[in-house]
A and B are shown apart, each in its own frame.
Chain A
């Protein structure tokens, strides 16, 4: 909540200037203080740069076909070689990566938000709300996500990828939500929550003002790790032809094509597979370092 009071504004400023460094700065300091954090962040930034700025460097667009070079090895003309169709590997791979990154990020954000809200409401209200929400969570856990997504894949054709993101997110939140519920139940018994309740603050306000902010570290870390989970799921679905539908490409569909020619035209497989691995690795490193930065008592840096 923001301070709207001018009366104290200057004191605030003064306090901030001389006062303790803000939590954000502390976390950022710890995050960038670790090698893993720096490396992960740099790699991830590089991947984004490549995915969004890289295509402008190449001469080919991902829709182009070079009918003079089918399955050609890397050369000055085609930096990463070409596919069987004559498409430029550099162009299509970056295009695929862009799609995978966007899908992964969006799905993770939507999924984590859903997890936070459902988990917090279930944990805070207990009773019937809890039972109903937990049951739905269990149901989605029990439903085979891959199968449902695959069955729905025809719906994602012709540029309906936002729908794909939503359905993907729908299967990403359950485990996080269970964790959020557990944390909420313990936070609910904390005295500052009691204090808010006993001063008459409404339950939904308590959730959004006191409960969720106090697990923001958990949520940020989880959202990050969900990005990699979403990217991996997307790739696997696309690999089997159930995800991003042609003419759109994603890393998964490229890898699927690449495996067929991998043995005699390695560039068709290794570039997209390599980029995928590096991206996921970078996301995981960022997530792990974030966890440590938020909570120095966990994992590294302890004892």
Chain B
């Protein structure tokens, strides 16, 4: 058993290593950090540029394997190198990671809980008004890409603020810098910043989950064990909540691992559009800035996050489903 766990973690490690290396190799070939120094006025002497690039391990005249080795030996020691501006990638991303995690957590919680509840209720009342409405809404939401949704939310917020005559919803950043006031004011300010990005992230997720949960729920609604529960004398509603919903949650949890990748991408867009200084924003910026080391570091983080989600979903699966749990005595 320990062997199996060990092999699994080793496999994860290999996946992360290969994924990150691939991302590095790709970024180092495709991106051109030298371009950052071109077209400056006054022009920067080539020797200076070379020296600067060499210092950052971004010199395209050094063979790729050599650059890779230097970068990799740093990574093994936990150092992802320097950004194009010379700062430490570790420090930069360390600051941003919290922002991203806060956004993801809020969006994930809101999205999945709403989605599961809506889907389950819609299934129980199949073809009822709520089912039709939620189906229509989720279809509409699923057709709107995050970038459009975010922009629509911004337009709507501007319009709403105009209507109310006050800046109720804030569309840029995580908090107002230098905001005076005590904890309550700070919290309120953060909340006003949080509403729109969270919505933009969780709406799509809720739509996906509600569709999925509805299908799963419909699958178990007619299951024999629900009939047994009713044959025991439970009311339909009680039987559904106690027996059907509990069982239908299991596949939803497995589904979580699949949606996590999409969630990361959604976070990227949301951060960029709402001006949150998280990993996602940095991803878009670093590509524009030809920042090879940051790109590789973010890939590493993304790979880690996806695998962590897979592991978490397996764990939850085991918690919810006695059939996959082990050590049950016979």
Contacts and interface: CB of A to CB of B under 8 A. Distances in A.
Interface in A247-261: 252, 255-256, 259
Given A240-B272, A273-B152, A303-B222, A151 B26 contact: yes
Interface in B137-158: 139-140, 142-148, 151-152, 155, 158
A142 B143 contact: no
Interface in A132-157: 135, 138-139, 141-148, 150-155
Contacts of A141: 261, 306
A142 B288 CA distance: 23
Contacts of B265: 144-146, 236
B209 to A, nearest CB: 16
Interface stretch (B67-75, B195-203, B235-243, B297-305): B297-305
Interface stretch (A9-17, A18-26, A107-115, A275-283): A275-283
A155 B29 CA distance: 11
- Of the four ranges (under 10, 10 to 19, 20 to 34, 35 or more), the interface on chain A belongs to 35 or more
A277 B16 contact: no
A278 B18 CA distance: 39
Contacts of A252: 147
A28 interface: no
Interface in A225-242: 228, 232, 235-236, 239-242
A131 to B, nearest CB: 10
A125 B298 CA distance: 36
B253 interface: no
B221 A147 contact: no
B259 to A, nearest CB: 10
B143 A284 contact: yes
Interface residues of B, number: 48
B264 A284 contact: no
B56 interface: no
A148 B296 CA distance: 10
Given A147-B23, A262-B151, A277-B148, A154 B30 contact: yes
Nearest to A288: B139
Contacts of A240: 272, 284
A175 B126 CA distance: 28
A147 B147 contact: no
A284 B283 CA distance: 30
B116 interface: no
A278 B145 CA distance: 11
A135 B14 CA distance: 10
B306 A273 contact: no
B258 interface: yes
Question: Would you list the 3 A-B pairs with minimal beta carbon distance, nearest first?
Answer: A281-B143, A144-B302, A280-B143
29 contacts: A139-B15, A143-B19, A144-B264, A144-B303, A146-B265, A146-B268, A147-B23, A148-B26, A151-B27, A151-B30, A151-B31, A151-B295, A154-B30, A236-B265, A240-B272, A241-B288, A255-B151, A259-B151, A262-B151, A262-B155, A269-B151, A273-B151, A276-B148, A280-B142, A281-B139, A281-B143, A284-B142, A284-B143, A288-B139
Given A143-B303, A151-B31, A303-B222, 5 more contacts: A146-B265, A151-B26, A236-B145, A277-B140, A281-B139
Interface of B: 11, 15-16, 18-19, 22-23, 26-27, 30-32, 126, 139-140, 142-148, 151-152, 155, 158, 215, 218, 221-222, 258, 261, 264-265, 268-269, 272, 283-284, 287-288, 295, 298-299, 302-303, 306-307
